[in-house]
Amino acid sequence: MSILVDKDTTFIIQGITGREAVTMARECLDYGAKLLGGVTPGRKGREVHGLPVEDNVLAFTSRTRVDAAVVSVPPGFAADAVLEAIDAGIKLIVCVTERIPRKQVAQFVEYAAEKGTRIIGPNCLGVISPGKTRVGGIGGAAESTRRAFKPGRIGVMSRSGGMTVEIANSLSEAGLGVSTAVSIGGDAIIGSTYAELMPLFDADPETEGIAIYSEPGGRAEYELADYMARSGSKKPIVAFMAGRFMDEMPGMRFGHAGTIVEGRADTTASKIANLTAAGIIVAEKIGDIPRLLSERLGK
């Protein structure tokens, strides 16, 4: 098993004729993912790697089952694309686009919740269940992806797309492997937080432990700590907090849009204390994650 996606997950790419989306489509196909085609308004009738391009999402959903959509359109059009996919009845939307103003994100996230649609991102690389499928650009070329993501026992959640791959690679090198990895997005408001994905990992028999990458800014780690206390979740979690240097630099933004220290609770020091109190192991070094998980898993 895996979470969110499996080998039969069918999906489309909105904005498929864009330069990065064309590459992503190639990589997904090479990986064996069930990509059906994509949408670019005004480009109906074209093909990308032999797959159909349509003017709207309904052209796909009216004739076939579409489990997911990847939104890879410029920020000015992204909210519209997400709303279109929600109204077409798609239940999983991976929004890759970055720099969407947070008012628009709050609006479509609220609408998605009303309609029972799950959103991953924005500003993420997507979801992968190694050996089964990938939805998004995560891992890059299929061959690199296979090398960094070996099928295995650990679930990964990360605010950074790049660090999702780094952590997965270290887990693969250590022989632990990855059950499902989710690049959750680096924005201040995202569709699915750690705490919202945890129940899925808890219910997944393939996932024995979880690795988390986080950064200063926001309060998502407190929500995770609350979840752990409330749910009695037993799977070991190892978290890594990057950006410790930012604690001394309030008001400065580094990296992702959501990564800024605006209050005491945003700092790594405060988050680490809170996570530790909730029984989550906080790795001092990024390279320690596989060892700490192995110790907790007992082999």
Partner 1 sequence: MRFYEFESKQILAKAGIPLPKSHFCKTPDQAAAAAFEVGGPVVIKSQVLSGGRMKAGGVKFADSPGEAAEHARAILALPISNLMPVGVLVEEKRAIAQEYYAAVTWDGRAKKAVIIFSDMGGIDIEEVAEKHPEHISRTHFSASRPFSDYIAKNAVAGVGVTGNDLNALTRIVAGLARVFLERDMTLAEINPIGKLEDGSIIALDAHMDMESEAARQHLDLLKELGVGPEEKRQARPPTQFEIDAERVDSADTRGVAGNLTEFDGNLGLIIGAGGGSLTLFDAVRAAGGKPANYCEIGGNPSVSKAANLTKLICAQPGVEKIAVMMNVVSNTRVDIVARGVVKGCIEAGFDPAEKIAIFRIPGSWEDEGFAILKKYGVPYVDRSVSMDEAARMAVENTKKKA
C-alpha to C-alpha distance for 273 and 276, rounded to whole angstroms: 5
Applying CB under 8 A, does 264 fall inside the site for partner 1?
Answer: yes
Residue with tokens 């919202």: 196
Closest to 226 in 3D by CA, of 277, 264, 180: 277
Closest to 148 in 3D by CA, of 182, 173, 180, 181: 173
Bridge partners, 93 (sequence order): 69, 119
Applying CB under 8 A, does 117 fall inside the site for partner 1?
Answer: no
Applying CB under 8 A, does 129 fall inside the site for partner 1?
Answer: no
User: With DSSP H G I counted as helix, E B as strand and the rest as coil, what are the percentages for the chain, rounded to 5?
Assistant: 40, 20, 40
Contacting range for partner 1; rule: CB under 8 A; set: 8-16, 63-71, 181-189, 199-207: 181-189
CB of 147 to partner 1, least distance (A): 8
Applying CB under 8 A, does 190 fall inside the site for partner 1?
Answer: yes
How is 185-208 classified by DSSP, letter by letter?
A: -SSSS-SS-HHHHHHHHHH-TT--
Task: Name residues contacting partner 1, limited to 76-105 (CB under 8 A).
Answer: 99-103
CB of 63 to partner 1, least distance (A): 31
Task: Name residues contacting partner 1, limited to 147-166 (CB under 8 A).
Answer: 148, 158-163, 165-166
Catalytic residues: 256
Residue 246 DSSP code: G
CB of 159 to partner 1, least distance (A): 7
CB of 45 to partner 1, least distance (A): 29
Non-local (6+) Cβ contacts of 195 within 8 A are 220, 223, 224, 226, 227
Applying CB under 8 A, does 176 fall inside the site for partner 1?
Answer: no
**25-44 footprint of partner 1 as x/- string (CB under 8 A):** --------------------
**197-226 footprint of partner 1 as x/- string (CB under 8 A):** ----------------x-x--xxx-xx---
